[in-house]
Structure 1
Amino acid sequence: MILIGIDPHKSSHTAVAIDPAGHQTGQHRFAVNAGTFRRLMRWCEQWPERRFAIEGARGLGRTLAQQLAAAGENVVDVPSTLSARARLLATGGDRKTDAADALHVAQVALFRHDLRPVEPEDQTTILRLLTERHDDLVHERTRVLNRLHAILRDLLPGGAPTGLSADKAAAAMKTIRPVTATDACRRDIARDLLADLRRLDRQVKENEAEMRDALAATRTTLTTLPGLGTVLAAKVLGHVGDVSRFPTEHHFASYTGSAPLDASSGNNVRHRLNTGGNRALNSVLHIIAVCQIRDSGRGQEYYLRKIAEGKTPTEARRALKRRLSNVVYRIMKRDLRNQLAQAA
């Protein structure tokens, strides 16, 4: 089995082939254009039994990785942190070339058997794109709303009302009677900001409607979990993808950053907060935990039980997040089993 490591860039992809012993058997640099994939496959025909390893298959190497996966090739994603460590071990420094990087990518894939396989994009990719777009729209709406609030503060006695919305802002602006040219300029800017706010409100609603349709196509039951609505469920599916890549709920909790890290040394057994993992999923678990703590139910009961055991509110919330990670994992595994059973 020949392993082909690829170091992708915007203008070129460098490929290096190694044998099972790690010895280089071939090298080629491909210019990135419409014919890159075709030329790569023609070059690889000399090795019928082959496997590909691409650095950053979710970044610069996404297009090539998806083309290979769609063609039925065996492709794995090599994180740049691993290839950088391999380069440091090989050279003892930070000296690098594209060919050397591709070689180190292949070497990492040769010895690491837990790398994430690249799968063809599916409905979960659409969900991730929609949730990322939703986040961008919400952030932009917040920025516009804050700017509009600041402008109205200078135009209205006592400032703009709290909980400002497009309708409230429009009603308040009807009472504005500019006295100076400066106030007239502020009013014109406020009108532009109000138009931007209405446009963003409309785009957020359209985005959420698309998200609901895409979520329904997955036939997920995640939304049955209290505190987990359409947007959060779409974010979970979009970031997790194929849940079967996590062998246990403990691996899933480590990925979400909800599992504490073992920092024991000698006879001292202790754990510390995990600040790594997928922070988007960690944020989802945090929101679910806050909602369940607020409302009566099993989540609130678990939280209060931890408080009674002497934990601080922060520690009790983290414990609930760890428990919720297990629940989300089990729901996704159950949905996957049901879908496989229906397809059989």
Structure 2
Amino acid sequence: MSQQQTSMKRTIVGGVDTHKELHVAAVVDEHDRILGSASFPTTRHGYKSMLGWMRVFGTVDRIGVECTGTYGAGLLRYLQHANITTLEVTAPDKTARRKRGKDDTIDAENAAHAAFAGIRTVTPKTRDGMTESLRVLKVCRKSAVAARRVALQMIQMQVVSAPEALRDLLRNMTRMQLIRTLAAWRPDLTGFRDVTTAYRIALKSLARRYLELHDEIADLDVMIAAIVDELAPDLIARCAVGYESAAQLLITAGDNPERLRSEASFAALCGVSPIPASSGKTQRHRLNRGGDRAANSALHIIAIGRLRLDAITQDYVQRRLTEGHSKLEALRCLKRYIARE
């Protein structure tokens, strides 16, 4: 039998180590033996060439890709459109890396081995639906909120160190009174060499920046709310669930929530699954410090809101405290129930 006929019947598994400009791919056969490795540019033509190169060795069964949410996002979309089973591969543990070393080819081979064995692999998010749109808008909003906070902090610091005439005028104003007063100033831009005028110019610039970011955040809030209302109206209708928390939980689940095989796996993904911490006669569980911490924060905010608003939640936490649990343990249990809900 010719080598080409052998390749046609062979089933192979690929692995890809992703980077900004080049992806490094490796292929293993049905016995997990390395068949080859090569580099390809991070363009659509490069993705096509990579898949064609892999198919030379045989029928592609699945491909393990590192960093499908960042450098590998474009490759993931291409492979999914080509109906290739794609797995996200996490980095190998430090012990294995210490023994073998690290370079791009080794990382690609490790990804192929992991995809072949089904270890260190998860089903990636598809990143091609409304939830991905929601994620992009929320990331933009988060950066705008951070920039607005920095602008406000700079305004407050400048007011503290400003000349007395300006401090006496501004020090007792509320936040929005201060911002709108500064934004309405008309300082003489030619007098920037004077200290008082320079402060006026700087404060006006910072106030206008704050207001622009404030308007940008308001516009993004409208878009985020519209997507959440369309995707999960029942979620936003529940007690103490706001648009920010609902948006984060939707992002954590992704456009293909069927990848989460049970509600327990969603709880683990959110970092609220109980972790055994027993020893001897002491039987207890501790907080899970893994998972998506943003989702964990969203569940925490919902739990705190229900502790204030919901009588059933208050009774549940009080019963847990009566049983001898600490406040943190009771809150952990509450977050687990909210994830199940």
Same fold (TM over 0.5): yes
Q: Shift of residue 316 of structure 1? A: 2.8
Decide whether aligned partners of structure 1 residues 55 and 101 sit closer, same or farther in structure 2, where only a CA change above 3 A counts. same
> Aligned equivalents of 2:236 and 2:258: distance in 1?
20
Amino acid at match of 1:107: H
Q: Shift of residue 250 of structure 1? A: 2.2
Q: Does 2:158 correspond to 1:151?
A: yes
Q: Does 2:309 correspond to 1:309?
A: no
Identity of aligned residues (%): 25
The answer to whether the 8 A contact 1:128-1:239 is kept is: no
1:141-187, CA deviations, whole angstroms, 9 ceiling, x for partnerless residues? 1111122122234433396447612x443247879999x94233222
Q: Does 2:105 correspond to 1:99?
A: yes
Task: Identify the residue that residue 227 of structure 2 maps to in structure 1.
Answer: 214
The answer to whether the 8 A contact 2:13-2:29 is kept is: yes
Report which stretch shifted further, 195-204 or 258-267: 258-267
Select the residue among 51, 54, 57 that pairs with 1:44: 54
Select the residue among 102, 121, 127 that pairs with 1:115: 121
Aligned residues: 320
Q: Shift of residue 41 of structure 1? A: 2.3
> Aligned equivalents of 1:212 and 1:92: distance in 2?
47
Q: Does 2:89 correspond to 1:78?
A: yes
The answer to whether the 8 A contact 2:66-2:88 is kept is: yes
Task: Identify the residue that residue 21 of structure 2 maps to in structure 1.
Answer: 11
1:297-327, CA deviations, whole angstroms, 9 ceiling, x for partnerless residues? 3333323333343444333323322221111
Q: Shift of residue 197 of structure 1? A: 0.9
Q: Does 2:276 correspond to 1:269?
A: no
Normalised by the length of structure 1, the TM-score is 0.83
Decide whether aligned partners of structure 1 residues 111 and 45 sit closer, same or farther in structure 2, where only a CA change above 3 A counts. closer
> Aligned equivalents of 1:95 and 1:282: distance in 2?
35
1:231-281, CA deviations, whole angstroms, 9 ceiling, x for partnerless residues? 221111112213322222222222111123223356553333222111000
> Aligned equivalents of 2:172 and 2:313: distance in 1?
35
Amino acid at match of 2:132: T
RMSD: 2.8
1:9-48, CA deviations, whole angstroms, 9 ceiling, x for partnerless residues? 2232121111222112232222334520121122133323
> Aligned equivalents of 1:92 and 1:192: distance in 2?
52
Task: Identify the residue that residue 244 of structure 2 maps to in structure 1.
Answer: 231
> Aligned equivalents of 1:52 and 1:308: distance in 2?
52
Select the residue among 64, 67, 72 that pairs with 1:56: 67
The answer to whether the 8 A contact 1:125-1:238 is kept is: yes
Q: Does 2:291 correspond to 1:294?
A: no
Q: Does 2:36 correspond to 1:22?
A: no
- Larger-gyration structure (1/2): 2
Secondary structure in structure 1 of the residue aligned to 2:40: strand
Normalised by the length of structure 2, the TM-score is 0.84
Q: Shift of residue 283 of structure 1? A: 0.7
For structure 2, the 5+ residue unaligned runs are 1-10
